[in-house]
Amino acid sequence: MKKSAYVFLFLLPFTFAINVNAQIVDSIKNFNLNEIEIKEYVIDNNISRLPSVQDNIIYAGKKSEVVLVTKINADLSVNNARQLFAKVPGIHVWENDGSGIQTSISSRGLSPNRSWEFNTRQNGSDMSSDPFGYPEAYYAPPSEALEKIEVVRGAASLQYGPQFGGLLNYKIKEGNKEKAFTFETQQTVGSYGMFNSYNAIGGTKKKFSYYGFFHFRQAEGWRKNSDYLTWTGYLSVSYQLSDKANIRASYTKMNYKSQQAGGLTDAQYQADHQQSLRSRNWMSTPWNLWSVDFSYAIHPALQLSVKGFMTIAQRNSVGYTKAITVSDSINPSTLQYNPRQVDKDGYENYGMETRISYKYDLNQNQNILAAGIRVFKGNTTRNQLGVGSTESDFNFDAVNNLFDRSLHFTTTNYAFFAEHIFQLTKRLKIVPGIRYEIINNSVIGYLNSSSSGQLQSDARDRSIVLYGVGSELQLTDYTQFYGNYSLAYRPVTFSELTPSATTEVIDANLKDASGFNADLGYRGKVKNYLVFDVGAFYLNYDNRIGTIIQNGVNYKKNIGTSVSKGVESFVELDVVKLLADKSKYGTISVFSSNSFIDARYVKWDNPSIANDPLKSIENKKVENVPAFIHRFGLTYHYENISATCQMNKVASVYTDAANTELPNANATVGKLNGYQVVDFSISIKINKTYNFKASVNNIFDEKYATRRSGGYPGPGILPGNARTFSVSFGGTF
């Protein structure tokens, strides 16, 4: 793509600033509170924002995006995150797993590792391992099953609790409201033996509604030793108890086996980034989710909802995960291998959230109070460092079922939260909020089988108060300023609560990470041809945890603070509607989604390097944070044909806090170059029943990497996928 095209797409937010400002001036001249009707708007046919209140939760004054998955052109067969989140500015994606089984995303200078900085949910219920102690999301629903994805950043902590990144909520489709039975199917084949099958049924009969699907996908994978097979089943049933009450229950089961190709040294990556030196590494995470939702309209102004949820899941891995420079084979000529390491986690989580919302009029304006309580109990059993077989098969059995490390963690959480929309005028909303958390984490077990490896039972109790305030100023019917400030935190995780060795000491006063988020933005649409959301953010992340050496002992304590600040913008222009209301040749729209991020450590309290400026972390860039993320796209739509071409351009990143430029011998640290990847997708509807889709990912076969790993799934540089193809045929009956 020529530089002129970059300039055109990047300057879209500013190209129409004069038009937008003219509307602002006109609105101010005609400012009349008694005559203005404030309207919700849909940003685009496949991206929108959350309303002021939904499901007894307040979103007014917050930065939010809703990806309408059923309406986008994207490769849904492999959960391609860079396409799914193309119009959500600032989303950083780790692209080292072409299977699409897990989604690793972040924003605003945070870590993408299995999306653990987000509060991840499915249909509003918890779905991660333990949102307080081990918040990694090992499960992601298949994209074909999704109606939409809700993303809330900034002040999401007041409603959803312990996170800095915000909310990531996957909303599964529901049964057809007009028919008793429908059947949906989508069959996809692609490069490297990929076969993806999605089949679903749903419908509504009187007061009864249901939706269920079964999804299956397998492939050899683009890299060698990256075979995978995954399947997911889901069933949701709901019953309308009365005009005011509804109950719904759902169950999700997922399992997979995935071969992990492991990392590469930089020299190996440059020589052949498709190669793999690990053929015996496997992973599987059987996942079970249950939820029950009850909603009741006590009064037209008073709404109640109760959500109960449960997770029973595992994380199992087996492999040889020493440095990539260490051979897996004892004797290559006889194919004798080293014993593999087996790690097994088990999770049992239970929780309930009860929410109410109350609407009332004051001074001829409607005000809204939304409040709730949360109760959560989590249990994690962690068995690690087991001695596995010397074979290459998919086998998680440890010798004699013995593990050198065995730990049991518990989490108990109670929370109360409330927010209030004060509609001061027809145009101005102020939204203060507060959240009170009580959290207990405990650990017991042993780090190794020796007497010195036994841990004393340790428990940490704390209560935390978060508060914040948001606001919206409606400038015209379809444009508004928004802003918010809110405290956030992240509890000490299980890995930080546990010594990694018997010589490591954990500070008895170890604190949860704390800080705040702030947003200021302007969003809306101009007539029927331009939509936009442009804003700035500031994220302060205090009490970061690190390890220092004191008197020859590793000492884990709070030693750091980082600050992320930047600009995020999204703008989309319908070129045809700009020039004319209708066109017999179809429509053409272009979009630009941009973010600029400056994420740095402003404090790093490590006495061992205080007098060595070459080792100082202060003012270093936060690891794995690109200075910019740009996504540009063009969509052509004509009758039943829709095609999208999208480019992703991402800056280089450092992979450690010391900002090491050159890679080390094991390739676990070192700068990763920026890259750009271009994708194309097309969809054709046939007779309103059938559809044909095709995608080409990474059209120009870009060689790139987004991540270095220090441990599992194998130390070293992890390449992104090269060019892949897929074609799909489906229908709804």
Q: Are 577 and 529 a contacting pair, CB within 8 Å?
A: yes
Which are the contacts of 140, defined by CB distance < 8 A and separation ≥ 6? 79, 100, 101, 102, 103, 170
Higher pLDDT, 522 or 162: 522
Give the separation between CA 402 and CA 397, rounded to whole angstroms: 9
Q: How far apart are the first and last CA of the chain?
A: 41
Q: In which band, very low, low, confident or very high, does the pLDDT at 627 lie, cut at 50, 70 and 90? A: very high
Give the separation between CA 59 and CA 160, rounded to whole angstroms: 12
Cα 609 from chain centroid (whole Å): 35
Give the separation between CA 346 and CA 211, rounded to whole angstroms: 29
The conformation of residue 576, written as its DSSP 8-state character, comes to H
Q: Is the pLDDT of residue 31 over 60?
A: no
Q: SS3 sequence, 388-426?
A: CCCCCCCCCCCHHHCEEEEEEEEEEEEEEEEEEEEECCC
Cα three-residue angle 295-301-307, rounded to 5 degrees: 20
Q: Are 464 and 436 a contacting pair, CB within 8 Å?
A: yes
Higher pLDDT, 83 or 331: 83
- Render pLDDT for 293-338 as a digit per residue (tens, 0 to 9): 999 999 999 999 999 999 999 999 999 989 999 988 877 666 789 9
Give the separation between CA 304 and CA 326, rounded to whole angstroms: 59
pLDDT at 501: 62
Among 239, 254, 316, 256, CA closest to 289 = 254
- The pLDDT > 90 percentage for the chain reads 75
Q: In which band, very low, low, confident or very high, does the pLDDT at 7 lie, cut at 50, 70 and 90? A: very low
Q: Is the pLDDT of residue 27 over 70?
A: no
pTM of the model: 0.92
Give the separation between CA 70 and CA 213, rounded to whole angstroms: 15
Q: Is the pLDDT of residue 30 over 90?
A: no
Range of weakest confidence among 96-105, 501-510, 722-731? 501-510
- Render pLDDT for 673-718 as a digit per residue (tens, 0 to 9): 999 999 999 999 999 899 999 999 999 999 999 999 988 888 999 9
Mean pLDDT, all residues of the chain: 89
Q: Tell me the torsion sign for CA atoms 611, 613, 615, 616.
A: positive
Q: How many H-runs (helices) and E-runs (strands) does the chain carry? A: 8, 38
Q: Tell me the torsion sign for CA atoms 498, 504, 508, 510.
A: negative
Give the separation between CA 157 and CA 488, rounded to whole angstroms: 6
Helix (H/G/I), strand (E/B), else coil: 578: helix
Give the separation between CA 503 and CA 551, rounded to whole angstroms: 12
Among 240, 280, 238, CA closest to 261 = 280
pLDDT at 615: 72
pLDDT at 614: 66
Domains of the chain are: 3-177+222-233+260-732 (2.40.170.20)
pLDDT at 464: 92
Give the separation between CA 541 and CA 535, rounded to whole angstroms: 20
Q: What's the chain's length in residues?
A: 733
**Can you tell me the mean pLDDT for 406-421?**
96
Range of weakest confidence among 9-18, 144-153, 641-650? 9-18
Which are the contacts of 473, defined by CB distance < 8 A and separation ≥ 6? 427, 428, 429, 480, 481, 482
- Render pLDDT for 384-393 as a digit per residue (tens, 0 to 9): 999 999 999 9
Among 325, 359, 317, 365, CA closest to 341 = 317
Cis-peptide into 713, omega within 30 deg = yes
**Can you tell me the mean pLDDT for 591-605?**
94
- Render pLDDT for 339-358 as a digit per residue (tens, 0 to 9): 999 999 999 999 999 999 99
Q: What is the token pair recorded at 649?
A: 């351009």
**Can you tell me the mean pLDDT for 363-392?**
95
- Which pairing describes strands 504-506 and 428-446: parallel, antiparallel, or unpaired? unpaired
- The pLDDT > 70 percentage for the chain reads 92
Give the separation between CA 520 and CA 464, rounded to whole angstroms: 26
Q: Is the pLDDT of residue 372 over 80?
A: yes
Q: In which band, very low, low, confident or very high, does the pLDDT at 478 lie, cut at 50, 70 and 90? A: very high
